[in-house]
Structure 1
Amino acid sequence: MGNRHEAGELLPEADLARADSLGREIFSDVANKWAFLIIEFLGQRTMRFGELRDEVGGISHKMLTQNLRMLERNGLVERTAYPTIPPRVEYTLTEAGEALRSVVDGMCGWTQRHFSHIESSRRRFDASQS
Structure 2
Amino acid sequence: MVTDLVPNVYDPACPTRAVLDRVGDRWTSLVVLHLASGPMRFTRLRAAIGGVAPKVLTQTLRAMERDGLLSRTVHAEVPPRVDYELTELGHSLRTPIQAITDWAEAHMAEVVASRADYDAARDER
- Give yes or no for TM over 0.5: yes
Matched, 1:92 2:91: no
RMSD value, Cα: 1.3
Instruction: For 1:109 and 1:91, locate their aligned partners in 2 and report how far apart those are by CA, in whole Å.
Output: 25
Could you tell me which runs of 5 or more consecutive residues in structure 1 were left unpaired when the two chains were aligned.
6-10
**Segments of 4+ moved more than 3 angstroms:** none
Q: Which has the higher contact order (CA 8 A, sep 6+)?
A: 2
Count of aligned pairs between the two proteins: 120
Secondary structure in 2 aligned to 1:119? helix
CA distance, structure 2, for counterparts of residue 45 and residue 129 of structure 1? 46
TM-score (norm 1): 0.88
Q: Which residue does the alignment assign to 1:48?
A: 41
Residue in 2 that maps onto 1:74: 67
**1:90-130 superposed Cα distances (whole Å, 9 cap, x missing partner):** 00111111110111100110011111211111110111121
Unaligned runs of 5+ in 2: none
Matching residue's letter, 1:46: P
- Give the letter aligned to residue 97 of structure 2: V
Picking from 15, 18, 23, the partner of 1:25 is 18
TM-score (norm 2): 0.91
Deviations 1:24-79 (A, max 9, x none): 11111221111111111011221000000000110000000000001101100111
Amino acid at match of 1:37: L
User: Which residue does 2:56 correspond to in 1?
Assistant: 63
Amino acid at match of 1:31: G
